[in-house]
Amino acid sequence: MSTSDLHYLTALEQAELIRTREISPVDLVAASLDRIERYDDTLRAWITVKPELALEEARKAEAEIASGTYRGPLHGLPYGVKDQMHAVGFPTTLGTKVLDEPETVAPEDAVCIARLKEAGAILIGKQNLHEFGKGGTIDFPFGQPRNPWNPDYTASSSSSGSGIAPAAGMCSFAIGQDTGGSVRGPASCNGIVGMRPTHGRISRRGCAMHAYTSDTLGPLARTVPDLAAVLEAICGHDPKDPLSAQRPVPDFSARLGEGVSGMRLAIVREMAWGDSTDPEVRAALQAAVETLERAGARIEEVSLPLAKWAVPLQLLSADADVASYFLKNYLRERYMRFDRGTRTRLAASSLIPASAYNRAMRARVLVRRQVLEAVGRYDALLSPTNVTPPKPIEATQERVDRKDELVTRLIERRICHYPFSLANVPALSVPMGFSRAGLPLALQIAGKPFDEATLLQIGQAYEAAARWSSLHPDLDRTLRLVA
């Protein structure tokens, strides 16, 4: 097979070619590096790429496989990580110019990177993000991330580069981080699959993560089976991470292909049909529901009346957690080195009174209880991942010009993400079609704590029936749009 044909194969298809030695890891890594060289000046998915290091690791993988040592389906696959995870040999920039160079030196590999290394995957680089992993960056220090379907449009929130790169065929998969939607949003806007797993499923050790009540790592890939394979490699208890769950890791791939016949699913009314939900998103969601019903699922509606309150409660608590770290370490002394969007958000969050924080944390329990009661009654809950199609970059920047815009802007971008983040339950985003402008739309599937396997089963059944994941952006056309 020509290496020019490799980039949009699924990760598992690439893996099978490596296993049977029809291609080598060197071929695949070289193909990824070529895509990055050709297109990343426009898309800005990457901050740091180490071509020689990646090719050296690819040659080691090639030699291992040739000698009969095959580590499994990730062996020889190139991937990238959001640049808030430490990797020896790579700087950890956190997408900011606030840090001085000595502060970016990685002390060790993050646990998730160490586990992927053990599985034989090859880290080729660190990916672009909103500054310090917080949404709202206006001027990106390492370049504006752009949507591979149309570069004038947003690639979504914090883990933006980790959504762009697999969608653009620059790597087989990526690892992002999700506090309030920063895996699911980029998956949705870039037309790939992404999962926020249950809080505690993946060790956070070795990552710069400051919203301790909500932060979790999560994989992004082109298909659900690819995602399941990555999830198996990176999940598992870490005794040195106090927030790591002591749950056994199931075979996430075992139930793929079993379908949804007889499953009880519920559409979340406030997310699906609310005033903020764009008509194009409603139509795509209705078509997705009909696809799942034809596959044998029984679908009802459920109400989460407290869902919208997850947005201010998360901002009052998780944002305050983050601000408390930066106030002491950087915000006071290096305020003007922050992007103006980031510093405004952090400065405001640092002024939240302890009494307000305390009440928000208590109120979060009520929202969490309502979400847990709903997921307990059904196999999964359904909603759009985003209530609007991807917007032009200018329209997504966190600026509010009028008071009457404030609530609408806050709720619109977060209503489908924050309730499940606040409840710390797993949620999966799967492609659900395209807007009239040709931008991706996505279906979100949320479920019980530690029941990622059921979400993957549902997601794979929908993906196989709808076939949206088989479509990919034409990057040469993307470059012409910029020109």
Which residues are known catalytic residues?
82, 158, 182
SS3 194: strand
Token pair 């800005």: residue: 44
- Cβ distance 216 to 176 under 8 Å? no
In Å, how far are 2, 364, 419 from 361, measured between CA atoms?
Answer: 55, 5, 14
Say how far apart CA 150 and CA 167 lie, in whole Å: 12
SS3 content of the chain, % helix, strand, coil (to 5): 45, 15, 40
- Cβ distance 178 to 159 under 8 Å? yes
Say how far apart CA 5 and CA 260 lie, in whole Å: 33
Residues in the chain: 483
Say how far apart CA 442 and CA 356 lie, in whole Å: 34
Q: Residue 326: exposed, middle, or buried by beta-carbon count in 10 A (0-12, 13-18, 19+)?
A: buried
107 Cβ contact partners less than 8 Å away, ≥ 6 residues apart: 86
Per DSSP, what are the bridge partners of residue 268? 302
**CA 235 from centre of chain:** 16
Say how far apart CA 202 and CA 204 lie, in whole Å: 6
Say how far apart CA 147 and CA 168 lie, in whole Å: 9
- Cβ distance 193 to 187 under 8 Å? yes
- Cβ distance 252 to 447 under 8 Å? no
In Å, how far are 17, 239, 468 from 436, measured between CA atoms?
Answer: 36, 49, 15
